Structure 1
Amino acid sequence: MNSRVNIAANSAPYKAMINLEMSLQTTSLTNIQKELIKTRASQINQCAFCLDMHTKDALKYGETAQRLFLLNAWRETDLFTEEEKLILAMTEEITQISQNGLTDETYEKASKLFDEEKIKSIIMAIVTINMWNRIAITTHLQVSKQ
């Protein structure tokens, strides 16, 4: 696959995205929650570059290989907490926005479990990784061999 334009080079919009990403570091989401969002959205979007990056980051933050291996089947296991399962449901619904969007049922569950600031943070984390996925896929960012 041929590489394409380097969108990061001298790009004000790219720098704005970096700032958005950095602002997510100040939310109440844990590093594990953020990496679950990033990994699950990247699985759905089939973004190899982001999957490689975020599974490595998740492991660095203490996530287990077993949970990462089972992430795309999270509903079928008790390895994820109630909060994590709700975050993953939100991630799937927002990532696949054209199907049904964030359903009323999921949003209602979120509003019972999370405060408004946490819901905002979850939504913004999901939206942000979806932007990064689209950039990586569109510009053919490549996974580096190790």
Structure 2
Amino acid sequence: METRVNLSKSDPAAYAALLAMNKAASEAAQAADLDPKLCELIKIRASQLNGCSYCLRMHTRDALKLGESSDRLAVLPAWRESEYFTAVERAALALSESITLVSVDQVPRDTYTMASSVLTDAQVSAVAWLSAAINMFNRVAITSRYRVAP
């Protein structure tokens, strides 16, 4: 495996700022009454879209520890096609996917409108900040080529 600069270690101040932002996003999610399992699903789905094996492993383990079912984790990439997810979860996942894929469609009006019709303003904000944080972590881990071994 190729060796790369570990971004989290090469600039500790920048990484500390990312950790602080993530902590604030998590606190906002808690204050907005987002289910902790949903927060993990948001992180897992964004990491799936970004192809980040390091974050996928971490957040899948975290979701399982919180009591998330293996069935829901198994169908998460096809959440739209299943009946496993609530309206709140669907709204959060749709918004998070759109934020993750912002270069594709710039968070379309219909996605945002649907999400804001189901989620409170505080929940929309929390989903957006959680999505921004995990996307940044994905980019750090992927660029640094964090090892993921059995």
* TM-score bin (small chain): over 0.9
Paired residue for 1:119?
A: 124
Alpha-carbon distance in 1 for matches of 2:142, 2:106: 22
The equivalent position to 1:82 in structure 2, one of 68, 71, 87, is 87
Which segment drifts farther, 25-34 or 72-81?
Answer: 25-34
Secondary structure at the residue paired with 1:26? helix
Correspondence list, 1:48-63, <5 A: 48-63=53-68
Q: Displacement of 1:2 after TM fit? A: 2.2
Matched, 1:4 2:4: yes
Paired residue for 2:39?
A: 34
Paired residue for 1:99?
A: 104
Alpha-carbon distance in 1 for matches of 2:54, 2:76: 17
Identity %: 40
Alpha-carbon distance in 1 for matches of 2:40, 2:3: 26
Paired residue for 1:21?
A: 22
Paired residue for 1:131?
A: 136
Secondary structure at the residue paired with 2:114? helix
Tell me the TM-score normalised to structure 2 length. 0.91
Q: Displacement of 1:39 after TM fit? A: 0.3
Q: Please identify which structure carries the higher helix content.
A: 2
- Structure 2 unaligned segments of length 5 or more: list them: none
Q: When the two structures are aligned, how many residues end up with a matched partner? A: 145
Alpha-carbon distance in 1 for matches of 2:84, 2:118: 19
CA shift digits 1:67-115 (9 cap, x unpaired)? 0010001011100001111111112111111111211111111222122
Whether the 8 Å CA contact 2:26–2:130 is kept in 1: the answer is no
Tell me the TM-score normalised to structure 1 length. 0.94
Alpha-carbon distance in 2 for matches of 1:112, 1:90: 12
Whether the 8 Å CA contact 2:44–2:59 is kept in 1: the answer is yes
Letter in 2 for 1:136: A
Give 4+ residue runs of structure 1 displaced > 4 Å after superposition: none
- Structure 1 unaligned segments of length 5 or more: list them: none
Whether the 8 Å CA contact 1:3–1:141 is kept in 2: the answer is no
Alpha-carbon distance in 1 for matches of 2:103, 2:86: 27
| CA RMSD in angstroms, aligned pairs only | 1.2
Q: Displacement of 1:143 after TM fit? A: 1.5
